[in-house]
Amino acid sequence: MSRTRTILTTALLGCALAAFPAKAQYGGPVPESDIDPAVFHIDEKEFLGTKVSKDFTLIDEQGREFQLADKLGKPLILVLSYYTCDGSCSVINQDLNALLDELEGLQPGTDFNVLTISFDEHDNLDSVGVFREHLKMTEKMSGSWTFSTFKNKDDIKPFTDSIGFKYFWSPQDRTFFHPGAFMFLTPEGRLARVLYALNSDPQDIKFAVFDAKAGEFKPGEAIDYALSLCYSYNYAEGKYTLSIPLFVGMGALTVGVSSFAVSVVVFRRRKRGRFSS
Q: What's the average model confidence in pLDDT over 154-171? A: 93
**Same-domain status, 268 and 153:** no
**Same-domain status, 200 and 247:** no
**Same-domain status, 116 and 191:** yes
**Same-domain status, 251 and 159:** no
Percentage of the chain surpassing pLDDT 70?
68
- Of residues 224 and 260, more confidence is placed in 224
Give the model's confidence band at 99: pLDDT under 50 very low, under 70 low, under 90 confident, else very high.
very high
**Same-domain status, 250 and 142:** no
How much is the pLDDT for 138?
79
Q: What's the average model confidence in pLDDT over 159-165? A: 95
How much is the pLDDT for 186?
97
User: pTM for this one?
Assistant: 0.73
pLDDT at 133 over 50: yes
d(CA 189, CA 220): 24
**Same-domain status, 273 and 186:** no
CB burial of 133-162 (b: ≥16 within 10 Å; e: otherwise) equals eebebeebbeebbbbbbbeeeebbeebbee
Q: What's the average model confidence in pLDDT over 98-113? A: 92
Q: Which domain holds residue 215?
A: 3-242
How much is the pLDDT for 100?
94
d(CA 79, CA 95): 11
How much is the pLDDT for 219?
55
pLDDT at 269 over 70: no
pLDDT at 213 over 60: yes
**Same-domain status, 85 and 105:** yes
How much is the pLDDT for 169?
85
**Same-domain status, 24 and 86:** yes
**Same-domain status, 162 and 270:** no
Q: Contact at 8 Å (CB) between 74 and 217?
A: no
- Of residues 154 and 4, more confidence is placed in 154
**Same-domain status, 99 and 213:** yes
- CATH of residue 203: 3.40.30.10
pLDDT at 73 over 60: yes
d(CA 177, CA 12): 7
Mean predicted lDDT score pLDDT of the chain: 78
**Same-domain status, 21 and 85:** yes
Domain count, the chain: 2
**Same-domain status, 8 and 121:** yes
